[in-house]
Structure formats: C-alpha cells, structure tokens
Amino acid sequence: MESILKNAIENNKKWTEFGQVASYIPELAKGNSEALGACIFDTNCNMILGGDYDTRFTIQSVSKVAILICALIDKGKKTVFSKVGMEPSTDPFNSLAKLETRESHKPLNPFINAGAIVCTSLASGDNGIEKFNRIHNMIKRMTNNDEIEVNHSVYRSEKLTGNTNRAIAYYLKGANIIEKDVEDVLDTYFKLCSIEMVVEDVAKMACVIANDGIAPWSNEQIIPKEVNGIVKAIMITCGLYDSSGEFSVNVGTPAKSGVGGCIMAVAPNNMGIAVVGPALDMHGNSIAGKKVLEELSQQLNLSMF
C-alpha cells in the first residue's frame, strides 16, 4: 500500500504545473503550487503518509462537511432541507445565479457557498461564537486532534475580500432563508473555512465517515448513522462542485474539495484519504489531487460503482 501511494504521488506530480493556486482570497496565493502530499487512514487505524504530507493548508470548503453534519444533528433533516436543496449544481461554487431564478430561492445544495452559509446559520448556538465552537468541536472530535485552530491571516483575508459571499448571504436574508444576523453568520463561515490542517487530520475525518460515523480509535459514534448516510450521498453528488459527475466516473467515492487544495475522499467501510495540492483546476479542485485519487481508486479498487 505504501508503494501504491508513493507511486500515485510521483506519477502525478507533473499535473501541479497545469493548475493555479487560488488568488481571489489574497492570502491563499501564498500556497506552494508544487506541493503534493497524501494520507490514507483505514478503519483499523493504519496510517500511510506520502509526498509533502506535512504541507499545512486551510480546509476551505472541506469545512462544509462538518457544517452539514452539525446542521443535520442540531435541526434535523426536514428543517435543513426546507432551507437548502439536495441537487447538484452546474454553476461555480460561489454563484448567485440560481438563487434568484429558483422559485423557493433555496440554494441548490449544502456544498455550494450559499448552501453552506445557510447550514452555518442552522448549527446550534445563540450567536456566531457559539456556532463556531459547536462546529469546531465536531472537527476536533472527527480529527482526534484538540489542537486544530484557525489560521488568522487567511481568516482576515477572507473576511476583507469575501464580498461575493456577503452578497449571497444578504440575498438569502432578504429571502428569509437566513434568519440570523448576516455578518455574524458570515464571520463564522469565514473562520470555519480558515481552519488549518495537515492531510492526516482530513484523512481521519474521512475515515469516521467511511466507518458509518464511528471513530475507529475509540469506537465512539460521533455522527448518527442516518446523518452520516445523507452526508455521503451529498458528497458523491455535489462534493466537487460542478465537476462532481466527472469525479464520480473517474474515482467513484464520496468526496469534498476545498480551494486550499485539499480533497477528502471516503471509501466506505474501508478508509479515508486526504490529498493536498494547492494548484487548482478551473473548477477550484486540486488538479494533481484529483489525478492521485484516480490512480488510487484504480489500484485499490475503491470505486463504489
């Protein structure tokens, strides 16, 4: 297994040259476009690291997985899906276009920015700080790492430049889909996107989801089974934004990407995988990370299809 991971990284390193580091959040432009690293963590707690596995990155949209988990646990399936849809989107992750044209004004799904901002507002807590703590705690439990923290430079950078997200959130407030204070919700969302990790942390989160919501290191049921199943379904249909279909064909596992360059992949009842490669394709997904996962899926027979 170690050599399979090593080869997948070496064979696909060349792809980093064809992508670009995200720059619309200025602080992310400092990412190392040549880095490529990965971690596999299986349900028996075996771990394999490869390549630039010590690269630190902000999780960005990978946080949407923990946000959805908390919204579903705290408010239930019915309430969550009365405010956000469950269908894939063919628009970019930060698009506003469909909000106005859809009759209900509901965001299409919880993994586009609009949907994640709504789900952030649904997590339990009376204000942004309490909501952040709720979701941050879930992330600490899923990573088995109490030291997970926000990267404050990235957080400040996102908060200063996040005007598209601001437009989305105010529109949703106008449509009565967000009931809470918009700036407070946005601040929480920016902080969650700016949480910093290494691939080991993300692979452990993915492994909890692969293991029906049970942490393999403690046997604790962190995520109720029904919620875990919904999250896997949304990951496979919407996890890579407007290239989720392509990813399902080529890799075939539930997954979630973020513009920090991380992709989290879940091989059910088997393992969690995390790849980091900050050079992105036009959809905002790690260009080499996708290729590494394609090779791993073929070599390890991971596709659910």
| Interaction residues for ligand GLN, span 165-224 (CB under 6 A) | 165, 193
Nearest approach in angstroms of CB 92 to ligand GLN is 9
Residue written as tokens 């399902």? 248
Binding site members for substrate: 61, 113, 158, 165, 189, 241, 259
3-class DSSP assignment, residue 264: strand
Shortest distance in whole angstroms from residue 241 CB to ligand GLN: 7
| Strands annotated E in the chain | 20-21, 37-42, 47-51, 57-58, 196-197, 214-215, 220-221, 255-257, 262-267, 271-276, 279-280
Tell me the CA distances in angstroms from 298 to 117, 229, 295, one per residue in order.
35, 24, 5
Nearer to ligand GLN, 108 or 271 (CB): 108
Report the nearest approach of ligand GLN to the CB of residue 57 (Å): 11
Residue 41 or 93 with smaller CB distance to ligand GLN: 93
Q: Residue 163 or 176: which CB sits closer to ligand GLN?
A: 163
Q: How long a stretch of residues is the chain?
A: 305
Which positions make up the binding site?
A: 61, 113, 158, 165, 189, 241, 259
- CA 122, CA 142: separation in Å to the nearest integer? 20
Give yes or no for residue 121 binding ligand GLN (CB under 6 A). Answer: no
Q: What angle do CA 82, 103, 172 make, to 5 degrees?
A: 60
Q: Rounded CA gap, 9 and 25, in Å?
A: 27
Q: Does 297 bind ligand GLN (CB under 6 A)?
A: no
Q: Least distance (Å) from ligand GLN to the CB of residue 165?
A: 5
Choose between 115 and 252: whose C-beta lies nearer to ligand GLN.
115
Give the Cα-Cα-Cα angle 245, 105, 183 (nearest 5 degrees): 100
Q: Which amino acid is at 209?
A: I
Asked if residues 288 and 60 have their Cβ atoms less than 8 Å apart, the reply is no
Spatial CA neighbour of 255 closest among 89, 117, 61: 61
Q: Which 10-69 residues touch ligand GLN, going by CB under 6 A?
A: 60-61
Q: Which of 27, 42, 52, 158 binds ligand GLN (CB under 6 A)?
A: 158
> How many residues bind to ligand GLN according to rule CB under 6 A?
11
Q: CB of 76: closest distance to ligand GLN in angstroms?
A: 26
Catalytic positions, written as ranges: 61, 64, 189, 241, 259
Residue 299: strand pairing partners? none
The tokens for 95 are 């698009």
How far, rounded to the nearest angstrom, does the alpha carbon of residue 232 sit from its chain's CA centroid? 12
285 binds ligand GLN (CB under 6 A): no
Alpha-carbon distance of 203 to 37, in angstroms, equals 12
By C-beta, is 15 or 57 nearer to ligand GLN?
57
Q: Map residues 76-105 to x or -, x wherever contact with ligand GLN holds by CB under 6 A.
A: -----------------xx-----------
Footprint of ligand GLN (CB under 6 A): 60-61, 93-94, 113, 158, 165, 193, 258-259, 284
